[in-house]
């Protein structure tokens, strides 16, 4: 076997095309957009390069066939955040069903990270936001959501055989829009907040996206940066995120809560794009854009993806999440609402409060993923992600 660093057009092409071989007989796999994958590895598109480094490889057999790929990286902002040791990451792992090949890839990532001063690695994770490309799918092998990991079931054994351990589990919750109506207790909790004149709620207006980007950043940094491994979001990153989402934003799906006109909470949802991108085969060129527009016009996108919920800590426990959902439900239950189901982006098992919130919406777990951690010194005690109380 031969490990080759991805440095030129040919190796980049091999890196992108390997999944076509891995998933050729899997009817549930949806090919990610090439541009979304490549954006992670482009310093002009990914601000994480300002704070860390990344390397990626492909693995070829004796005949020159590509049989595996992996990326390794670290971010100075998060490598020590809440960790007992400097921790980097590996991700974008794809491999044939071969322990030898997988170990070659994992070993390359580990050796490079050790050379950069890391003492552990998490995987499979993203060189960027936790909302994308994070965790190994172990249950719920159905259509993957946009920019989420999907993998064959045998990957679980490859990771665990190498010595990766369960750092935290990730649960994706799902419910039908027309499913059971939310109960009186839920609405009573929401109504207590809504009766207070100091609070107000509204969905966004696309013409004011730069303003909402800054509001999002303020709430996100206050509510999420305290979590282990989450870096503070810069103004540039917030504006870039809104810019990326702008073409697909449905104003009815992004809501903010305000206290005396100051943003204190949000829920960000978008149409689930993979329901449309599955028709473009990874290419959002002119033909791909026409296919995307056609299937969107035909109403083939019936799912909503809940990306993230955030509440500033001093307002925790006041029912703001319930109030935001109640405001949204007044639109969602309308007869002409075009979406049929809602799936929330993952919540970690370290966050029981958020799990309880999704369960209060009568949502059920539809997918389970695992973020693994491998300590390079096996004599050190392994500890799971701390629980957020």
At residue 297, does pLDDT exceed 60?
no
Answer for the pair 175, 364: CB distance below 8 angstroms, yes or no. Answer: yes
Domain match, 28 and 160 both: yes
Domain match, 131 and 221 both: no
Domain boundaries, position 140: 2-171+371-375
356 Cβ partners below 8 Å, 6+ apart? none
Domain match, 308 and 163 both: no
Domain match, 95 and 206 both: no
Instruction: Give 73's strand partners.
Output: 54, 89
Confidence of residue 236 (pLDDT cuts 50, 70, 90): confident
Nearest to 239 by CA among 265, 260, 284, 208: 208
**In whole angstroms, what separates CA 149 from the centre of its chain?**
8
Confidence of residue 247 (pLDDT cuts 50, 70, 90): confident
Check residue 283 and give its pLDDT.
78
Domain match, 194 and 319 both: yes
Domain count, the chain: 2
- Cα separation, 149 vs 145, in Å, equals 8
- In the three-class reduction of DSSP (H, G, I as helix; E, B as strand; rest coil), residue 366 is classed as strand
32 within domain boundaries:
yes
Number of H helices and E strands in the chain, helices first, is: 11, 13
- Residues 4-20 as b/e (b if ≥16 CB within 10 A, e otherwise) read bebeeeebbebbbebbe
Answer for the pair 173, 351: CB distance below 8 angstroms, yes or no. Answer: no
Domain match, 95 and 65 both: yes
235 within domain boundaries:
yes
Of the listed ranges 75-79, 94-98, 102-106, 292-296, the one predicted with least confidence:
292-296
Domain match, 154 and 279 both: no
pLDDT tens, 255-280? 999 999 999 999 999 888 887 787 67
Domain match, 204 and 166 both: no
Domain match, 202 and 159 both: no
pTM, two decimals, is: 0.85
Domain match, 64 and 187 both: no
Q: Is the peptide bond before 124 cis (omega within 30 degrees of 0)?
A: yes
Domain match, 268 and 136 both: no
């Amino acid at each position: 076997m031969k490990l080759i660093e991805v440095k030129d057009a040919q190796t980049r092409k091999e890196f992108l095309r390997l999944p076509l071989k891995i998933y050729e007989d899997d009817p549930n796999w949806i090919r990610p957009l090439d541009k979304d994958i490549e954006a992670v590895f482009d310093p002009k598109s990914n601000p994480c390069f300002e704070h860390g480094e990344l390397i990626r490889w492909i693995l070829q057999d004796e005949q020159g066939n590509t049989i595996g790929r992996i990326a390794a990286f670290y971010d100075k902002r998060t490598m020590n955040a809440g960790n007992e040791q400097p921790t980097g990451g590996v991700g974008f792992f794809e491999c044939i069903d071969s322990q030898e090949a997988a170990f070659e890839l994992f070993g390359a990532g580990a050796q490079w990270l050790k050379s950069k001063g890391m003492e552990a690695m998490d995987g499979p994770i993203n060189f960027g936001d936790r909302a994308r490309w994070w965790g190994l799918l172990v249950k719920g092998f159905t259509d993957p959501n946009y920019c989420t990991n999907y993998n064959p079931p045998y990957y679980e054994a490859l990771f665990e055989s190498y010595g990766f351990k369960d750092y935290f589990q990730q649960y994706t919750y799902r419910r039908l829009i027309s499913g059971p109506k939310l109960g009186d207790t839920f609405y009573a909790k929401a109504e207590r907040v809504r009766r207070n004149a100091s609070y107000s709620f509204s969905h966004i207006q696309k013409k004011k996206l730069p303003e909402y980007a800054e509001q999002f950043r303020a709430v996100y940094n206050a509510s999420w940066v305290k979590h282990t491994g989450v870096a503070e979001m810069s103004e540039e990153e917030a504006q870039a995120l809104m810019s990326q989402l702008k073409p697909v934003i449905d104003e009815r799906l992004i809501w903010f809560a305000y206290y005396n006109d100051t943003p204190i909470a949000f829920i960000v949802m978008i149409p689930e794009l993979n329901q449309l991108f599955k028709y473009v085969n990874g290419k959002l060129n002119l033909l791909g854009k026409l296919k995307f527009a056609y299937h969107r016009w035909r109403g083939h996108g019936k799912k909503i993806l809940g990306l993230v919920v955030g509440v500033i800590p001093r307002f925790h426990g006041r029912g703001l999440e319930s109030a935001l959902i109640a405001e949204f439900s007044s639109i969602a239950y309308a007869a002409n609402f075009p979406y049929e189901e809602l799936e929330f982006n993952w919540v970690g098992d370290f966050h029981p409060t958020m799990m309880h919130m999704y369960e209060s919406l009568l949502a059920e777990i539809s997918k389970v993923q695992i973020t693994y951690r491998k300590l390079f010194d096996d004599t050190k005690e392994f500890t799971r992600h701390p629980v957020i109380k």
